[in-house]
Amino acid sequence: MGESIEDLIRFGEDSVREFKSIRIQGKRVAEPDAREISDDFASAANASGTTFLFGVNDKTHAIEGVPFDKLEIAETWLRNICNDSVKPALPATIRKIAARNSAGEERCVIRVDVPKSLFVHEGAHGYFYRIGSSKRKMSPEMLARLFQQRSQTRLVCFDEQVVSQAEAGELLAPLYTRFRTELSSADDSEFLRKLHFIAPDVDGVMRPTVAGVLFATEHPESYLPSAFIQAVCYRGVERNADYQLDARDITGPLDVQIEEACRFVERNMRIAAIKNPARIDIPQYAMNAVFEAVVNAVAHRDYSISGSKIRLHMFSDRLEIFSPGGLPNTMALDEIGERQFARNELIYTCLSRCPVRKRFAEVKRERIMDKRGEGVPVILSASDRLSGRQPEYKLLGESELLLTIYSVPIDDRKKLREMITSSGETTNSGHKTIKESGETIKSNNGVINKVGETINHAAETMGETISDTIKSNPGISLIGIVEKVGRSRATVARIVATLKKEGCVEYRGSKKTGGYFSIS
């Protein structure tokens, strides 16, 4: 990866490098033919991987370059070939690199690194294999043998397989040392090998594994393009971009993704307030159920499915979480709350060693996973207690699992009042009495929730969010806080007033130009 364009060109084409001229007419690539390039890319992935240089003449080795104003057209063309013309899609790396031609003029060359794949890939004209600097169509016997070899490779848990385009040195010490124990080796290489964060590739070179990339790099999606969570919040009940209120691609190590996905839900869910006789805050979702749902999606998704990420979509009446990967052959959909299955044993183990850094409602344990198989039962029971409706699991084809968690009827004031009719006594300080006694709230469907845990925790969590916002933005105005946390001005003003009374924040300056500051 560190070689210059000149170094790559000097010795000509071979099994690991190939040159291509590129000609663009208007807004399309006229040459080379996209179907031929798809065959080239597939043959490289089926062999040991190849670096392609677009903008270099394959006969003269002259640097012709790609016109600077056409770079985006060329890059989109190459990306579409990798994603759409090669089956399954290729996780190639596409980079634009400056170079000088023989006259000393600056040109731009596009470098495409196609790594050796764990799968067998098909181009537009069939299955090819790269031999030297050329490609050959595979015979039925060779194709069957390659399918067998790569299928056997995948018998090793996918999270323990090497990521061929990554280097062991790219794993970050602050991220992997958190898994060290008193018994761990002091030598980093030995420690990472025993942790299964690195492993030898077919050539004996130590490279990061899938789990190593997912836990010990800042941007796992750079190596595994689908290793992130797509979070979207919509206004209303339709999946419509015109009604989109908030959206974010959540990246980072897996434990960070889990925390940030829960923050996204917490930030965007609504909280109803009812007086009975004192104020009671009712959150749209039980955050402990949301936490377990996100953890399960991250821990058990199939990371080998190319182009399919976790999707977390919020609506006014429900929360949907799509997780890539079907159920194992031995498990039926109606058994999902009773039986355990770990698709990714190493990821499962690592999450059980990651602390819960951000506290969410009713999440009592210290580690993200507890290995007791309580996740699904918590999702079902906590959501049912709060909203009166059981969450639903649905298998989409054989490659995606959908979990739907239903919302509290946040806009139906009549139903909300029915839900908070207490089974016990209340006093003029009803809010405090209910919280301290841990009494239950009832609806027509039975027990809903313990107010002292889920409901009141929502207000406490929003207080933490506002306090963090002020600390991160010294001098911020009330309107600024409202915009950042996505709550009404009245709600924010009430919580800020409480924080001021508790000595956590203070207001400095005039009414027009002043703002809020955190008190350390």
Residue 32, preceding peptide bond in cis (omega within 30° of 0)? yes
Taking domain 473-518, whether its CATH number is 1.10.10 is answered by: yes
SS3 category, 126: strand
Q: Which helix (H) or strand (E) holds 143?
A: helix 140-153
Q: Tell me what pLDDT residue 458 has.
A: 54
Other residues' Cβ atoms within 10 Å of the Cβ of residue 372: 9
Query: Architecture of 229-452 per CATH?
Result: 2-Layer Sandwich (3.30)
Residue with tokens 């344990």: 365
* Ranges assigned E (strand) in 138-243: 198-200, 206-208, 229-234
> What per-residue string of b and e applies to 129-147 under the rule 16 or more CB within 10 Å gives b?
bbeeeebeebeeeebeebe
Rounded distance between C-alpha atoms, residue 214 and residue 193, angstroms: 15
The domain over range 5-153 is classified in CATH as 3.30.950: yes
Q: What is the chain's pLDDT, residue by residue, as a tens digit (520 residues)?
A: 456 777 788 878 887 889 999 999 999 999 999 999 999 999 999 988 899 999 999 889 899 999 999 999 999 999 999 999 999 888 888 999 998 888 889 999 999 999 888 788 999 999 999 888 788 999 888 888 787 666 655 556 788 888 888 999 999 999 999 999 888 899 999 999 999 999 998 678 899 999 999 999 999 999 998 999 999 999 999 999 999 999 999 999 999 999 999 999 999 998 887 776 677 778 899 999 999 999 999 999 988 887 789 999 999 999 999 999 877 656 677 777 777 777 888 999 999 999 887 666 566 778 898 767 678 888 999 898 888 889 999 988 778 999 999 999 887 777 777 766 643 333 333 333 223 223 333 333 333 344 444 445 555 667 888 888 898 889 999 888 988 877 778 788 888 988 888 888 999 988 878 899 988 6
Query: What pLDDT does residue 156 have?
Result: 61
Torsion of CA 288, 289, 292, 295, to 10 degrees: -100
Helix (H, G, I), strand (E, B) or coil at 380: helix
227 is written with which tokens?
């290793």
The predicted structure's pLDDT at residue 276: 66
pLDDT at 430: 34
pLDDT of residue 483: 81
User: What ranges do the domains of the chain cover?
Assistant: 5-153, 158-222, 229-452, 473-518
Has this prediction a pTM greater than 0.85? no
